[in-house]
Amino acid sequence: MLTEVIPLGTGSAMPTRGRHFSSFALRRGGSLLLFDCGEGTQFGLLEAGLKNTRIEAVFITHFHGDHLYGLVGLLSTLGLLKRRESLTIVGPRGLQDLVNLMPGLAAERLTFSIHFVALDEDMGRMAVYETDAFTVEARPLAHSIFAAGYRFAEKARPGNLDVEAARVLGVTDYQQYRQLKSGQPVTTAGGRLVRPEEVVIPAPPGSSFAYVTDTRPCENGRLLAHGVDVLYHEATFTQGDRQRALETKHATAHEAATIARDAGAARLLIGHFSARYQTSAPLLEEARAVFENTEAAEELKPYLLRIPVGFEEKKGEGGGARGDPR
């Protein structure tokens, strides 16, 4: 099953033409996850051809408005659509109180239930959402206020049984094939013990994605990014503005690329660009000098976590990628 992420907003605190506030959608089959929900996220969902009714969970990083102020509108719209399915919302403790204060969003007024998962500043690694197919974990980052980063990871699938190898070892019963594939040893009619590792070809690990913003470079950011297929890491400034990055607790493109390199990420998407840069070109050039497999995230463009051989990634649905402001 193909899993992809779609940037809906790649700008930082100040609005600019062509960049929107922070939000990323992750689509896996019929599942849709939303990481951050800045102002205008609903328009991004519409332009990307993503149905807001498919959203299963929303993961908020912190209480700065450019990552949060679209949530109230999204919840209001889902209420107007008479949503019935429960929605999970993960974010810093206090988010539930904030939502309940908004007119029309109190639990007794909505047509659907919200399951809130609260994150505390002293948390370590925390599993915050899980299905039969994947998990999402959170870790605290290093921002000016408490902020969390997230890691999506598909669960390992059962390996493929080498039937011929099993037959050579004396396994001929269909039920025993099933047992071996599910990880259980079997005993053949001839009395031989056959273990799964002898005849089951391990499946490759599931795909993974890390969402690391807003933060200074930190160990938890590196741990979230460890070995992921795609890392989205904020790159608000260039090294020429590193002093400003230090003051605001953000990262430079060089620092984001260093995290990707040191974490062994396969691919880096940078974003959360400061409004001072008219295009992402200088940030992308700086990052690629450290980690070549870097792209500046394009809004509405789907990025596959793993690209099958011969498959060409396409522009976003509903109008294509917004691209850099000019």
Q: 302 and 295 in contact (C-beta within 8 Å)?
A: no
Residue 277: CA count within 13 A, CB half-sphere: 27
What is the β-pairing status of strands 31-35 and 87-92? unpaired
Residue 4: name the closest of 281, 265, 313, 321 by CA. 313
Residue 66 a catalytic site member: yes
Residue type, 110: L
Q: How far apart are CA 63 and CA 147, in angstroms?
A: 8
First to last CA, the chain: 37
The token duo for 76 is 């209001």
Catalytic residue among 66, 214, 229, 324: 66
Q: How far apart are CA 160 and CA 199, in angstroms?
A: 9
Q: How far apart are CA 300 and CA 217, in angstroms?
A: 27
Catalytic residues: 66
